Amino acid sequence: MFRSVAISCSSGSASRSVLRSSSVRGPAVSVTSARLFSRTSHCWDDTDPVFVEKCPAPMFDSGCTYCRPEFPADKPVKVGAALNGTAPIVGRHLLVSTGHSDWPSRTEFDLSSLDAQVRALQRGGIRRDPDFNFMITSTDLSPANPPGDRSWSLYMYPDGLYFPRVPYTKGEAFIKRYLIPSRSQEAQSIEHEIDIVREEFPIVAICAHAARDARCGIVGPMLKSEFEQVLRRKGLLYDPATGEGIRVALVSHVGGHAYAGNVIYFRGDGSAVWYGLVYPEHVQGIVKETIEGGRTIRELYRGGLPVHS
């Protein structure tokens, strides 16, 4: 159902491989600036996705399916708010595997983070392109390399690529190549210096950045537990022994704490659907309609990330 495909640049042919395999090097796609930075419209309307109006009710109680988070009195959520169009519009979204969820309130405060390197480059005069927005999000997914390796493991959407090891020393080249269109051609060589894997296993990303805002910090872990139980029951949860299945990850700030819980489902094709005001009672419906059925639930929908055309 889902698979990871490593692309060998020497032969130009695709071959299936175990996730996180570093046996092949080179670009996993035919890379051009147009391909890397195509400015597709985002799915704010209902013309592309197949919508269902309401999230189906749960079919069983996992033990906390009907649990409701208790938010601080001074930090309410926008219950009943119109959600469509409230998600940030980004051209590229990077998920960084950190192996933990106790991030500082601003991830760039961690000087070893990719966010910090972006800030350092900006201070040095290398600016973001104003018409190409990107987002870098930390996750509690385990990196491919041991602590002290001085590298990042990254997922990149909507390209659907996984970079098992990007050394800190390659950070500037990586940022220029993939995040700054006007500087992309300066760093083409990095594609032959790092491993790139076609990632086709979905990820459920749940905001749980407690140091940034209590609301996602409270509801995020509840949602992760519920998603894991429901996906496990259906045989869809990621299995480390086989390297197959759907990962469930806690992630850092993605915008919109007032819409907690925030859930982004990154599909195997690289596209994503973004939900808000998600509680454990919605999880079974999301799994049924969106993960299994490919349909978008209108009442929870904040926006989406389409595949580059």
CATH number at residue 294: 3.40.30.10
Asked if the structure places residue 159 within a domain, the reply is no
Higher pLDDT, 89 or 300: 300
Asked if the structure places residue 140 within a domain, the reply is no
What pTM does this model have?
0.85
Asked if the structure places residue 123 within a domain, the reply is no
The pLDDT value recorded for residue 48 is 55
* Stretch 80-104: mean pLDDT: 92
- Whole-angstrom distance, CA of residue 262 vs CA of residue 274: 7
pLDDT at 31 over 50: no
* Stretch 120-144: mean pLDDT: 91
Asked if the structure places residue 206 within a domain, the reply is yes
Domains contained in the chain, number:
1
Domain of 292, in residue numbers: 51-86+200-305
pLDDT at 173 over 90: yes
Asked if the structure places residue 151 within a domain, the reply is no
